[in-house]
Amino acid sequence: MTSPLVTSEVGRLRTVLLHRPGAELRRLTPRNNDELLFDGVPWVARAQEEHDAFAAALTDRGVEVLHLDRLLAEVLDVPAAREQLVAAAVDDPRIGETLRHTCVAHLSGLASDELAAALIGGVAHDELPGARGLAFELMGPGDFVVRPLPNLLFTRDSSVWVGDQVAITSLAMPARHRESTITGAVYAHHPRFAGPQRLYDPTLEHLEGGDVLLLAPGVLAVGVGERTTAGGAERLARRVFARGLAHTVLVVPIAQERATMHLDTIATMVDVDAMVMYPAVADTLVAWTVRAGDDPDAGDLRVSGPQPFLAAAADAMGIERLRLIDTGLDPVTAEREQWDDGNNTLCIGPRLAVAYERNTVTNKALEDAGIEVVPIAGDQLGSGRGGPRCMSCPVVRDASPA
């Protein structure tokens, strides 16, 4: 069994963590989809077909696919993990003490696979036997005692590997807080991972995995915007420097908008020296360069900039330039394909990337630039605003070729 290790975005992908969407997507309605961060109500069976095809595309190319829900069910046989995750599920000020006790008793009595399904899919008002109490009486029949986690699909956000250490992230949106608890429990208790050293913790400043790009060994880019704060980027920088996991962190401000919620929604690596990027920001994206200060033991930082992002990245990576794939998109098409996650690709290896098939113009530009595109359907998966990179957390990659 290969130990977790990730040092770049483009080294040959060996093991990846996915989550096949299930009952949690069936909980989405026009009444709650905004609160649960979806732009619509997906056709669940089709979303599952699309995700199965995504997983198969990876498996067919030699990638080991780990499924988060299966790992979760296995760790729920561990009493400490079970107790932790049940407590997190009912840590909600809406439900009150009486309903909390009832819910704990119900969840604690479930078999591990049933409990995994409840923790992910949620528990509705009418699904809790013997429930009582003021909070219960005031709930509507469609309200949730335990909220579902439809965004668990986007496994990139709740954890990110840097070298052989894992950052269990601090998710900004209330609808997603429990995702990190689940991911963290899997890493802590599943024998596949054997409790890796933690680089980050959900109690810290907001930091999401979609904002963290491993541009090259020792070089991270961290987007700061809707989901990741400057404080989170600084905290991560201090920790990777102190542990020798990086020598440079580029902090990249991005617009606080739905279409650009994470850095990986506007730019992803497709080769060791090449990136695809939303054309509207290519000329304006800047970066602050952060390196360890004179006294790294004290957490000193040296901050310089801003510089144009591409120039700052090339300098940090020690290359002459970071190539930008010219998609040649007109402004309208660029905006459409950006909304449809055209720039959110997942590298399986250098010059080999998974992308949504609907972004035909971006994909052709990639192919014209020598990047082999593995197209997948995403009409229903994309309703949560996330592409192939968002839906995958690399756990093992080969070293990036020079």
- Model pLDDT, residue 68: 97
> b/e string for 266-282 if b means 16 or more Cβ within 10 A?
bbbbbbbbbbbbbbbbb
Cα separation, 222 vs 209, whole angstroms: 9
> What's 251's domain CATH number?
3.75.10.10
Q: Are 378 and 48 in contact (CB under 8 A)?
A: no
- Model pLDDT, residue 339: 46
Q: Is 393 designated active site?
A: no
Q: Is residue 333 part of a domain?
A: yes
Q: In the numeric block, which tokens belong to residue 307? A: 């510089």
Q: Are 62 and 397 in contact (CB under 8 A)?
A: no
Q: Is residue 10 part of a domain?
A: no
Q: In the numeric block, which tokens belong to residue 346? A: 């997942």
- Model pLDDT, residue 336: 54
- Model pLDDT, residue 236: 97
Query: How distant is the alpha carbon of residue 80 from its chain centre?
Result: 25
- Model pLDDT, residue 36: 59
SS3 of the chain: the string is CCCCEECCCCCCEEEEEECCCCHHHHCCCCCCCCCCCCCCCCCHHHHHHHHHHHHHHHHHCCCEEEEHHHHHHHHCCCHHHHHHHHHHHCCCCCCHHHHHHHHHHHHHCCCHHHHHHHHHHCEEHHHCCCCCCHHHHHCCCCCEEECCCHHHHCCCCCEEEEECEEEECECCCHHHHHHHHHHHHHHHHCCCCCCCCEEECCCCCCECHHHEEEEECCEEEEEECCCCCHHHHHHHHHHHHHCCCCCEEEEEECCCCHHHCCHHHCEEEEECCEEEECHHHHCCCEEEEEEECCCHHHCCEEEEEEEEHHHHHHHHHCCCCCEECCCCCCHHHHHHHHHCCCCCCEEEECCEEEEECCCHHHHHHHHHCCCEEEEECCCCHHHHCCCCCCCCEEEEECCCCC
Q: How many CA atoms lie within 13 A of 376 on its CB side?
A: 28
Q: Is residue 388 part of a domain?
A: yes
Q: Is residue 391 part of a domain?
A: yes
- Model pLDDT, residue 214: 97
Catalytic residue, chosen from 103, 347, 390, 393, is 390
Tell me the C-alpha to C-alpha distance, in Å, between residue 62 and each of 14, 58, 65, 72, 367: 7, 7, 9, 24, 21
pLDDT (tens, 9 = 90+) of the chain, 402 residues, equals 578 899 999 999 999 999 999 988 888 776 666 665 666 677 888 989 999 999 999 999 999 999 999 999 999 999 999 999 999 999 988 888 999 999 999 999 999 999 999 999 999 888 888 888 898 889 887 788 999 998 899 999 999 999 999 999 999 888 788 999 999 999 999 999 977 899 999 999 999 999 999 999 999 999 998 889 999 999 999 999 999 999 999 999 997 664 557 899 889 999 999 999 887 787 889 999 999 887 766 668 999 989 999 999 999 999 999 998 876 555 655 555 444 555 889 999 999 999 998 888 889 889 999 999 999 987 777 665 678 999 999 999 999 776
Question: Domain count of the chain?
Answer: 1
**β 144-146/286-292 pair status:** unpaired
Q: Is residue 107 part of a domain?
A: no
Q: Is residue 9 part of a domain?
A: no
Indicate the pTM of the whole model: 0.91
- Model pLDDT, residue 334: 52
User: Among residues 209, 152, 188, 179, which one has the least CA distance to residue 6?
Assistant: 209
Q: Is residue 294 part of a domain?
A: yes
- Model pLDDT, residue 298: 64
Structural domain boundaries, residue 230: 54-66+151-397
Tell me the C-alpha to C-alpha distance, in Å, between residue 365 and each of 323, 327, 328, 371: 13, 5, 8, 9
Q: Is residue 353 part of a domain?
A: yes
Cα separation, 47 vs 25, whole angstroms: 9
Assess whether the previous peptide bond of 93 is cis (omega < 30° from 0).
no
